[in-house]
Structure 1
Amino acid sequence: MARVVVVGAGMGGLAAAARLGAAGHDVTVVEQAGTHGGKLGTLSRDGYTFDTGPSLLTLPEVYRDLFAATGAPLDEVVEVVPVDPTCHYRFPDGVELDLPHVEAEVGPALATAFGPTAAEQWGSVMADAARLWDLVGEPVLQRPLRGVLDLVRRSANVRDLAAIAPWRTLRSLGRRLPDPRLRMLLDRYATYTGSDPRRVPALMSVVPFVEQRFGGWYVRGGLRRLADALADRCLEVGARLRYDAPVCRVEVDARGVTGVRLRDGEVLGADVVVSDVDARSLYRDLLPDRRAQRSLDRVDPSLSGFVLLLALRGRTPNPRHHRVLFPQDYDAEFDAVFGRSPRPVEDPTVYVCSPADPAVAPAGDEAWFVLVNAPRHGPVDWTAPGLADRYGDHVLDVLTRRGLDVRDRVRWREVRTPADWERDTGSVGGAIYGSSSNGPRAALLRPANRARVRGLFLVGGSAHPGGGLPLVAMSAAIVARLIGPA
C-alpha cells in the first residue's frame, strides 16, 4: 500500500483518487479551494442553479467504467439523460440546424438544412474520422504516451501514421466541404480543446465524430452532480478530501518524491504524488523544472471564456438545451483570442446552455449559461474597472442581433471572466483546457502522465490525453494503471 497525495480535486484528481483508493492505497486529496470539482463548478441563488463549467457530457461510458470499477454503477448515483437535439446552430445567413442526438438522423438533418450534397460531404469527412478514432481512441488516448516514438510504434503501419497526419490542420480538412456553413461547423470543434482550427491537427475531426456516434448527454440537476457523486465515491473507498489546503511545493529527495508541503508549513509524506494542477503551475511553482518549462513554453495555453449566468423570467419560444450562434467572420474571433494583440472578441460566437430541467430554475423561468471565447487573463486585464460589465452588456446586444433578445427578462446576472477562472481554479490565465492543441506537439505530445521524477504522476487537462470531462478521466485511469494495486 502506497501513501498517495493527490494535489487538486478537479475531475481528474478525483477520478485518480477514487481508482487508487479502490485499489487499496492510502489516499489524501488536497485542494486549494473550499470545494471539489475544479472547473466543473456551480452557482445557486434564488432558486436558480447554474453549471459554471462544462455543460455537455460526451463518452459517458468513460464515467460508467470509472464508477463500476470503484463501487456502485454510475446510473445508481446520477441520472444521465440524452440531449436531443445535441445542439441548435444558427449560421450568419440565418439558416438554422438542429443536430440530432442519434447518429443515423444527422445526415437527413444536414440534407434538410444544406442540401443532400452537403450531407454526403459531411458524411465522407466523418467516415474518415471514424477510421482515425479506431487508430487513436484506445491505442493513444487511453495509454501512456511518452513521445513521438511511442506514437510511431502504436501506428500499425506507415498508412496508419499517414492517416493520423498530425501535420495537417482541421482547417485544411475543411476544404473538402464546399459549403462555408459546414466548414464553420467543423471549425467549431477546435474550441472543444480550446484551440484554433487553423492550427489544430485534422485529427480533431474525431471530436464531432465522437459526439455524433456516442451522443451528447446531460446529468439531471446539472453536471455538477457528477462531481459530487465522484467526491462521494472517493470518500466511500477511503480517500480523505482536504479543502482550503493549498500546496506550495512538491517535496523530493535523490530517490524521488517524498510528499508535499502546504502553504501553512504542514508536510504530508507520500510515496506517490498525483498532480491535478496545470502542468505550467506544477513545473513553475511546485517543482521547478526548467526543461519542462521550456517545453511547455512552446505550447499555447488554451483559450479562456467569458460567461454570463442569467436568471431569466419566463420561457423562450422553441427552447433548446444548447445553442450556438455563429458570427460573420469566425477567423476574426480566433485572431482576437490567439493573435499577437489579444482582445475581447468584438463579434463573438455565442454559446447558450438552457436546460429544460425543473431542478435548475423556478417554475416558468430559465437559467441560462452564456459563453463566448475569450483571450486569457494577462494578455487582457480582465480586472480592469468596468470591463466585465461593459462586455456583458455587449454580449447581450450580440444575442439580440442574432434573434435572442432577453434583456427585459433578466432578473439578475453574474459574470465570470478569465481572471475569475485563474483565481478559482489555478489555471494559467484562466485557460479552460490547460494546454491548447495548436500544433502537432500540443495535440499529441502533452506532458506525460509519468513524470521524470520518480513517484510523480500527472492527470488533468494539461497532461496526456488532454482536456474535457472524458479525457481527464482517461488520464486518471492511465495513472492508476501505472501505479498499480496496493
Structure 2
Amino acid sequence: MSAPTTRRVVVVGAGVGGLAAAVRLAALGHRVTVLEQAPDIGGKLGVHEHDGFLFDTGPSLLTMPHVLEELFAATGAPLAEVLPIERLAVACRYRFPDGTVLDLPGDVAAIPDALDAALGPGRGAQWSAFLDRARRIWDVTHEPFLESPIGLRDMVRLSRRLDDVRTVAPWRTLRGLGRQHLHDPRLVMLLDRYATYTGSDPRRAPAALAAVPWAEQRWGSWYVPGGLGRIATALRARLELLGGEVVVGAAVAEVTTRADGRVDGVALADGSRLAADVVVANADARQVYGHLVRTPAARRAAARVGRTTPSLSGLALLLAVDGPPPDQPHHAVYFAEDYDAEFDAVFGRRGRPRPVARPTVYVAAPDDPAVVPAPGTGAWFVLVNAPPHDPGRGTDWDAPGLAERTADTVLDLLAERGTDVRDRVRHRTLVSPADLERRTWTPGGSIYGSSSNGPRAAFLRPANASPVPGLFLVGGSAHPGGGLPLVLLSARIVAGLVGPARR
C-alpha cells in the first residue's frame, strides 16, 4: 500500500513563486497556508505608492505570457477573465553610445527591418542568423532545463546527443556565441544586455542564455494595466478562492524537522508553530539552508550554495515626474560607453565590487493613467546595475550619501543621453541593494540569487527538491532561475514533485 499523500502545506514567502506554487498545490487538493514576513505580498514584484504615484519596484514587463495563462487556466478561470495584459508595440528603445536610437518592435517579424533602418543594412540579417541559432538552443534546452527538475541525468542525456551539444555549445559564452553572428558592436551590446536578465556577466554566462532573447522576441513584451504588482494580487485571489490562505507579518524563524530529518512544520518569530507535511520555501536558498533549516543535509547544501557567484543587484530610482517627455517609450535602455567596465565593477574584476561610474540606465515609463494621480505626470522606474550590499568585502550601500550620490549621477547620465528630467522630478524614492536585502531577505540584495556565470551554473543552482525530505524550493534563487516566467515554471515543477493529495 502506498503512503498517503501530503495534505498540509506551508509556503514560506508570498513572492510570485510562492503564490504560484500555493495556487497549484491548492488546486491539487492540499491545505495551503502562505506565510509572509513583510506587511505586503509580492516579494521582489513589489509595489510602492506615494502621493498618488504607483511604482512597480521589480519586474516591469511580462514575457512568455503563455506560462502565466497556463497557470490560471489549470487552476480555474482563465487569465483573461481576471487580469488584462497588453502587448507593447515597441518592446524597448535602445540608445547606443554613438547616439544611435533603435526602437525594437514587439513583433519579431518586424525586427530585421527595424535593425536595418536604425543601424544600417545587413544588421537585420545578422540578428536573424543569431536568433535562428537561439531558437535551436531553445528547442534543445527548454523542456529538460526550464520545465523539468534538473539533475545529473539531464547532463548525461544531453552529453550523449552530439548534435544537441554542438547546438548548445556549453564551452562557449554568450558573448562568444554572439560574436559568431554579430559583427556590429551595437548588436553585441544588445545581446549582452540579456545576460543581466539572470544577473550575470555576458563574458562568463553560457551560450545557452541565447534562449532568453529568443523567448522574449518570439512571444513579445507585455504589460499589466495598473502595474505588474497586480499579478501577485490575482494569484492571492485565486489561492483564496481555492481555499488557501495568506498570512502577512508572519516571519518564519525555522523550518522544523523530525528526528529522522523530515520537515514537520515551521516555527515563527513570535514563538508560535504551524505543523506541515511539506514546506515550500520561496526564499533565497542561502537563507533557507544557512538559517532556516538546521540539519546536516541543510549544512551541506549551504556549503554548495556558498560556492556560487551571487547575481548582480541594482539601485532603483522611483521618480514622480511632472510633464514627462511626450515621446518617451514604455521601456528604454541607455547604454554605457564601456559595458565591460560596468561588468568589471559589479562583479569585482580588477578590485572589489563597486558602484559603476557611468552605468547603463534602464527606464520603465508606463503610459498608464492608473499609476499616476493626474494627466501630464509619470511614474518612472529607473534602474542601474549595482554590486550587492557587502560592507565587509565590497560595497556598503548604507554608507552615508552613497545611494543619493549614485542617483544624482544616474539623472545626470540620462540628461547626457538625451532624456533630461532633473527639473521635472516632484519626488524620488531610492531602493538600494541594502534596502532590497532588508525587504526581501535576500543576501546582499542579489536579485537572482546566484548568477549564471560559468558553464556549470545551471547545475549548481539549487534544485527544487531539496536534500531535506519534505522541503522544496521555489523562486528565482532555485531552478530554473530568475525572472517572472522562470519563477512561474519553478512553481509548476514543485507542484509536480509534490503531486496531488489523496482524499
TM > 0.5 fold call: yes
1:477 and 2:498 equivalent? no
- Give the Å deviation of 1:315: 2.9
- Give the Å deviation of 1:78: 1.2
- Tell me the equivalent position of 1:356: 367
Q: Which amino acid aligns with 2:22?
A: A
- Give the Å deviation of 1:151: 2.6
- Tell me the equivalent position of 2:315: 306
Q: Which amino acid aligns with 2:325?
A: T
- Give the Å deviation of 1:249: 1.0
Deviation string 1:126-149 (CA, Å, 9 cap, x unpaired) is 1011011111112321000123x3
- Tell me the equivalent position of 1:164: 168
Q: Which amino acid aligns with 1:82?
A: R
Deviation string 1:320-339 (CA, Å, 9 cap, x unpaired) is 00000001100010011001
> Pairwise mapping of residues 316-331 of structure 1 onto structure 2 (< 5 A)?
316-331=325-340
- Tell me the equivalent position of 1:235: 240
Given that 1:200 and 1:443 are in contact with CA atoms closer than 8 Å, whether structure 2 keeps it comes out as no
- Give the Å deviation of 1:417: 0.2
- Give the Å deviation of 1:154: 5.0
Q: Which runs of 5+ in 2 are unaligned?
A: 1-5
Given that 1:146 and 1:445 are in contact with CA atoms closer than 8 Å, whether structure 2 keeps it comes out as no
Deviation string 1:272-299 (CA, Å, 9 cap, x unpaired) is 0111110000110011433212211221
Given that 2:458 and 2:479 are in contact with CA atoms closer than 8 Å, whether structure 1 keeps it comes out as no
- Tell me the equivalent position of 1:152: 156
Counterpart among 285, 303, 307 of residue 279 in structure 1: 285
- Tell me the equivalent position of 1:194: 199
Alpha-carbon distance in 1 for matches of 2:30, 2:367: 41
Given that 1:56 and 1:218 are in contact with CA atoms closer than 8 Å, whether structure 2 keeps it comes out as yes
- Tell me the equivalent position of 2:389: 377
Alpha-carbon distance in 2 for matches of 1:413, 1:381: 21
- Tell me the equivalent position of 2:302: 293
Tell me which moved more, 53-62 or 171-180.
171-180
Q: Which amino acid aligns with 1:196?
A: D
- Tell me the equivalent position of 2:3: none
> Pairwise mapping of residues 333-348 of structure 1 onto structure 2 (< 5 A)?
333-339=342-348, 340-348=351-359
**Equivalenced residues, count:** 485
- Tell me the equivalent position of 2:379: 367
Given that 1:135 and 1:155 are in contact with CA atoms closer than 8 Å, whether structure 2 keeps it comes out as no
Percent of aligned pairs sharing the same letter: 59
- Tell me the equivalent position of 1:62: 67
Given that 1:422 and 1:429 are in contact with CA atoms closer than 8 Å, whether structure 2 keeps it comes out as yes
Alpha-carbon distance in 2 for matches of 1:283, 1:5: 17
1:415 and 2:430 equivalent? yes
Alpha-carbon distance in 1 for matches of 2:202, 2:216: 17
SS at match of 2:310: coil
Deviation string 1:32-65 (CA, Å, 9 cap, x unpaired) is 1111110001111222111011001000111101
Alpha-carbon distance in 2 for matches of 1:271, 1:29: 14
Tell me which moved more, 476-485 or 439-448.
439-448
Given that 2:151 and 2:459 are in contact with CA atoms closer than 8 Å, whether structure 1 keeps it comes out as no
1:101 and 2:106 equivalent? yes
Given that 1:461 and 1:468 are in contact with CA atoms closer than 8 Å, whether structure 2 keeps it comes out as yes
Q: Which amino acid aligns with 2:368?
A: D
Alpha-carbon distance in 1 for matches of 2:472, 2:361: 37
Alpha-carbon distance in 1 for matches of 2:95, 2:16: 32
Q: Which runs of 5+ in 1 are unaligned?
A: none
- Give the Å deviation of 1:266: 1.2
Return the TM-score normalized by structure 2. 0.94
Alpha-carbon distance in 2 for matches of 1:294, 1:473: 27
Tell me which moved more, 82-91 or 309-318.
309-318
- Give the Å deviation of 1:162: 2.7
Given that 1:139 and 1:154 are in contact with CA atoms closer than 8 Å, whether structure 2 keeps it comes out as no
Alpha-carbon distance in 1 for matches of 2:301, 2:359: 34
- Tell me the equivalent position of 1:390: 405
SS at match of 1:465: coil
Alpha-carbon distance in 2 for matches of 1:342, 1:427: 18
Return the TM-score normalized by structure 1. 0.98
Given that 1:201 and 1:443 are in contact with CA atoms closer than 8 Å, whether structure 2 keeps it comes out as no
Q: Which runs of 4+ in 1 moved over 6 A?
A: none
- Tell me the equivalent position of 1:119: 124
Given that 1:40 and 1:52 are in contact with CA atoms closer than 8 Å, whether structure 2 keeps it comes out as yes
Alpha-carbon distance in 1 for matches of 2:48, 2:164: 45
Alpha-carbon distance in 2 for matches of 1:86, 1:233: 29
Counterpart among 213, 222, 233 of residue 208 in structure 1: 213
SS at match of 1:440: coil
Given that 2:437 and 2:444 are in contact with CA atoms closer than 8 Å, whether structure 1 keeps it comes out as yes
SS at match of 1:116: coil
Tell me which moved more, 201-210 or 116-125.
116-125
SS at match of 2:90: coil
Given that 2:301 and 2:467 are in contact with CA atoms closer than 8 Å, whether structure 1 keeps it comes out as no
